[in-house]
Amino acid sequence: MERRKLVEDLKSQLGFLRESEVKDIIEEGKKQAAQIIAEAHTKADEMKKREIEQIRANIGEIEIRELEAAKSEQKRRMMNLKIQLIEAAFAASLDTLKQMVNEQVLIYRNSLESLIVEATSQMTGSQFEVILSSKDAEFVRKKLKRIEQEISTIRNISITLGISNEPLRSIGGVVVRSSDGKQVFNNTLEARLAKVRQENLPEIAKILFEGTDA
Amino acid sequence: MINLSVEDIKELVAKEKENEAELKKAQDEASHIIEEARKEAKAILSDVQVPSYFKTLHEQEIKRVEEKKSTWEMECNRALENLKSKAGENVQKTVDYVIKLIFGA
């Protein structure tokens, strides 16, 4: 009888131990599961937070980025247009010069003398030849002696000028060359136009763009 | 000292086997619970969504900037047209000035 009781006690103890162990295993499983879910929630919250921060930062940058790009594009377009308009103004100036030469307007004819004087005044030597168009040559030839005298007075030496038979490769103006060919002064209208452009572009642009914000 | 019979021992061994089966069952159940939790965690992470308020805010900002940009571009186009028009008006004056400089008048 005692033996039976012992066996039943042992079985009961074994059952109790099993129940306890089963409970622990299940509890541990649930604990781990809860931890996995909690970690996932924490991670999800962090991801959401990061994404929101990124959206907030992005919102701030959209305006700066987009408008800066638009401003930069506008500056480029404005600059290109200005260049085109300046080119057009110089092209119109060149057309006007051609017209003045063709029509032999007084201001042009009268300038030929000063163009020759200006060129020779900046050259050394005493003998020069002037290259100009045949139409201008005809006009200048009549005044050649007077021009020689004027330059001689300025330079304080006796100057001799001749008119070259070489055709002028220009719309007008003069090219003055020393008799030895070592010095050449290009005082054609194209050369003068280029010089005017180089030296006076800011003032010219100011007149062209007067009345604008540019 | 009580001596257990062979039958007693067999009975206890059977009980022990029964326990082992119960433990195995418990372990399987725990593993299942953990596995389900992992699946749920994966679903939570794949379903991370920014509150619609922020998305709307972002879209609104894009729209606002686009509108601002469009207004700005229209103003710029007007400025370009104005520049072209004024330069057209001023071109003769500019040519006169250039000619004056060329002839040193």
- Whether residue B102 and residue A208 make contact (CB cut-off 8 A), yes or no, is no
- Are residues A111 and A70 part of one domain? no
Contact residues, chain B, for A59 at CB < 8 Å: 57-58, 61
- Are residues A37 and A117 part of one domain? no
- Whether residue B48 and residue A39 make contact (CB cut-off 8 A), yes or no, is no
Beta bridge partners of residue A162, listed in sequence order: A129
> In chain A, which residue's Cα lies nearest the Cα of B80?
A78
Q: How far apart are CA B33 and CA A32, in angstroms?
A: 9
Using the 8-state DSSP alphabet, how is residue A104 labeled?
T
Q: Taking each helix axis from N to C terminus, what angle separates A189-208 and A2-102, rounded to the nearest 10 degrees? A: 120
Any domain includes A99 = no
- Are residues A152 and A191 part of one domain? yes
CA distance B31 to chain A (A): 7
Among A14, A28, A82, the residue with its CB nearest the CB of B15 is A14
- Are residues A110 and A68 part of one domain? no
- Are residues A145 and A57 part of one domain? no
Beta bridge partners of residue A160, listed in sequence order: A127
ipTM value > 0.95: no
Any domain includes A23 = yes
- Are residues A59 and A16 part of one domain? yes
CA distance B56 to chain A (A): 10
Q: Does residue A200 sit at the B interface (CB-CB below 8 Å)?
A: yes
Any domain includes A85 = no
Cα atoms in the 13 Å half-sphere on the side-chain side of A174: 29
Any domain includes A201 = yes
Domain that holds residue A199: 104-208
CA distance B104 to chain A (A): 9
Any domain includes A91 = no
pTM: 0.69
Cβ pair A112, A132 in contact under 8 A: yes
For residue A68 the two structure tokens come to 């800066």
Q: Return the CATH number at A149.
A: 3.30.2320.30
Contact residues, chain A, for B63 at CB < 8 Å: none
CA distance A11 to chain B (A): 6
Contact residues, chain B, for A202 at CB < 8 Å: none
At residue B80 the predicted structure's pLDDT band, cuts being 50, 70 and 90, is very high
Q: Taking each helix axis from N to C terminus, what angle separates A2-102 and A106-121, rounded to the nearest 10 degrees? A: 100
CB atoms within 10 A of CB B82: 14
- Are residues A52 and A109 part of one domain? no
- Are residues A145 and A63 part of one domain? no
Q: What is the pLDDT of residue A176?
A: 97
- Are residues A116 and A23 part of one domain? no
- Are residues A131 and A179 part of one domain? yes
Instruction: Dump pLDDT digits (tens) for A125-173.
Output: 999 999 999 999 999 999 999 999 999 999 999 999 999 999 999 999 9
Q: What is the pLDDT of residue B105?
A: 56
At residue B21 the predicted structure's pLDDT band, cuts being 50, 70 and 90, is very high
Any domain includes A190 = yes
Q: How far apart are CA A75 and CA A82, in angstroms?
A: 10
- Are residues A68 and A137 part of one domain? no
- Token pair 């781990």 is at which residue? A32
pLDDT averaged per 10 residues in sequence order, chain A, 214 residues: 84 88 95 97 94 86 87 92 97 97 92 94 94 93 94 93 94 95 96 96 96 78
Any domain includes A87 = no
What's the total number of domains in chain A?
2
In chain A, which ranges are continuous DSSP H helix?
Answer: 2-102, 106-121, 134-141, 144-155, 189-208
Any domain includes A163 = yes
Distance, C-alpha A143 to centroid of its chain: 49
Overall average pLDDT of the B63-90 stretch: 92
Q: What is the pLDDT of residue A214?
A: 65
- Are residues A110 and A200 part of one domain? yes
